[in-house]
Structure 1
Amino acid sequence: MSAGLDPGQIRHAFSRAAASYEAHAVLQAEVGRRLREQLDEREFTPQRVLDVGCGPGIGASALRKRWPQAQIIALDLALPMLQLAQQRAGTPATFACVAGDAQALPLAAASVDLVHANLCLQWCDDPGLALAEFRRVLRPEGVLVFSTFGPDTLHELRSAFASVDAAPHVSRFIDMHDIGDGLLASGFRDPVMEREDFVLTYADLRSLMRELRAIGATNADAQRSRSLMGKTHLARVIEAYEVFRRDGVLPATWEVIYALALAPAIGQPLRTLEGDVASFSISNLRGSRVRR
């Protein structure tokens, strides 16, 4: 389930975009709001909540308002984003900010009741590893809720570049069915997934590309070209994108996938590469007898 991404480029892009992110991340904020609506029908009060890929802390702040008595932990790979989240948390801090990678969470096993990750998974070089980490830190029957981008995202931009050269210019995104398989392979139970398309419009391609840069959503493909794009090359891409123009504007599609899943209860096996591993409460083992 590897995405073939460059983690250094991802960290650099989001660090550079920290100051401009919130002003341009209208879609990301709306997707986050809809993601948290997935929790409306669940009657539970988590004691500890982890917001993975917190960015400037928009989601962590919303989670704090939803559960004012819970401990909220906001985690991000880009330190400038985390600094903005700390400012939003205030003094004294209303939520904790932690630097870390979704694929190697700096938390103890079975220490979190809810993992929330809004549009973070698609930036993991190995999303399967991130899902395994989400499973590891969740307590038995804990809740995972996340959103990510599907492969139809920015298909217009991908097509325009593909008509000019064969190099990858748009990051690749994972299919919803592969994400569902990844959840099951990581040991999650009862996954519920939904798909939704958003179409944003722009006056021209340069406006779209400026916005992508402002939110850090630049090309992170490990096989991308490192050289700067020349004016002639860009002009050909701009011309190729024009075939999508409708009603005077250029569309940009974002395929959003929402997922909710449960960590297994105590005693249910955790699936690993080595096989199923079952866990049991120590209290259930006390007083047990071995029959000969």
Structure 2
Amino acid sequence: MNTIDKRHARRNFERSAERYDSVAVLQREMADRLLARLDYVRLSPRRILDLGAGTGYAIAALQQRYPKSNIIALDFAHAMLRQARRRGRWWRRPSCVCADAESLPLADGAVDLIVSNATLQWCNELDRTFSECLRVLRPGGLLMFTTFGPDTLKELRQAWASVDTATHVLSFLDMHDIGDALVRARFADPVMDAEHLTLTYAGLRDLMGDLKVLGAANAAADRPRGLTGRARLAALSHAYERYRQEGRLPARYEILYGHAWAPEQKPALGGIAVPIASIQRRARADSHDTATRSN
């Protein structure tokens, strides 16, 4: 998986915020499918964290599903949060927090449910991100998310590979690696599954334009700097043409779905969990021994 240049990624999303919803067809579909999975969960969350909220598409649906809950929209791009702030019922706007998913400015056990759509691929340290999610979830709380798998934009990646050896398309983690990260973070009962969705375009220019508006332009730390010349773009377009089917160019996405629970008794991170009651019993025993010796 590539290292993300967070400053560059944030700048991309700041620029694309106002037009993002006009092309975010796939992201909305992913959010709808993710939220539909809550139908099978018995949960009455008081506080929900929309992690990587973007323009806040999921907020209205979450408010409708959980009318008594308070929603926190968190994103690392201010411009995205300005769009999200307008979502939901006017008398109960979401609380907006500009922060990185890898370092959440929330108290331990602050939320009952974390919903995250198409965000984790922008995290460089997934273990740290999941540890932060576990920390801010109350015991028994739920994390539900989508992200992208390694087959995402496979055609574009392979077309670029025939042009040069530079990194032009991000690589993505396999769902088994993400599941392993959930286990390392000490989540309970992690579940992962995947499906493929395909968008089609009249030409390469349309695909590249959508990716730019989505803020999904290349943000890899080792990306090529500078503008792509006409000759290389022409070579890329020629290479992509071999995928054309029924007059359209496909862009395939591997969508990963995951959910996991915060255990009822959270283990101490980096150590052994010791019940408070046993510490109190030991403290009383030590006090008794000290009093006996002093006598």
Per the alignment, residue 115 of structure 1 pairs with 114
Counterpart-to-counterpart distance in 2, 1:210 and 1:127: 29
Counterpart-to-counterpart distance in 1, 2:13 and 2:236: 25
1:176: how far off? 0.5
Structure with the higher fraction of residues in helix conformation: 2
Q: Which amino acid aligns with 1:240?
A: A
Structure 1 segments of 4+ aligned residues over 3 angstroms from their partners: 89-93, 282-292
1:279: how far off? 5.9
1:133-188 deviation per Cα after TM superposition (whole angstroms, max 9, x unaligned): 11110111110000000011000000000100000000111111110000000110
Contact 1:16/1:216, CA 8 A, preserved across alignment: yes
Q: Percent identity?
A: 46
C-alpha spacing 1:194/1:244, structure 2 compared with 1 (3 Å): same
C-alpha spacing 1:109/1:3, structure 2 compared with 1 (3 Å): farther
Counterpart-to-counterpart distance in 1, 2:3 and 2:274: 33
1:43: how far off? 1.2
Per the alignment, residue 269 of structure 1 pairs with 267
Per the alignment, residue 232 of structure 1 pairs with 231
1:10 paired to 2:9: yes
Counterpart-to-counterpart distance in 2, 1:189 and 1:139: 13
1:284: how far off? 8.2
1:241 paired to 2:240: yes
1:216 paired to 2:215: yes
C-alpha spacing 1:91/1:197, structure 2 compared with 1 (3 Å): same
1:224-278 deviation per Cα after TM superposition (whole angstroms, max 9, x unaligned): 0111100011000000001111111110010000001001111x525x4xx3442
Structure 2: runs of 5+ lacking an equivalent: 290-295
Q: Which amino acid aligns with 2:191?
A: V
The farther-off stretch of 55-64 and 207-216 is: 55-64
- Count of aligned residue pairs for this structure pair: 286
Per the alignment, residue 85 of structure 1 pairs with 84
1:160 paired to 2:159: yes
1:68-88 deviation per Cα after TM superposition (whole angstroms, max 9, x unaligned): 101110111110110011122
Per the alignment, residue 278 of structure 1 pairs with 273
1:26-72 deviation per Cα after TM superposition (whole angstroms, max 9, x unaligned): 11011011111222111110111000110111112211111110111
Contact 2:60/2:89, CA 8 A, preserved across alignment: no
Q: Which has the larger radius of gyration?
A: 2
Give SS of 1:64's match.
helix
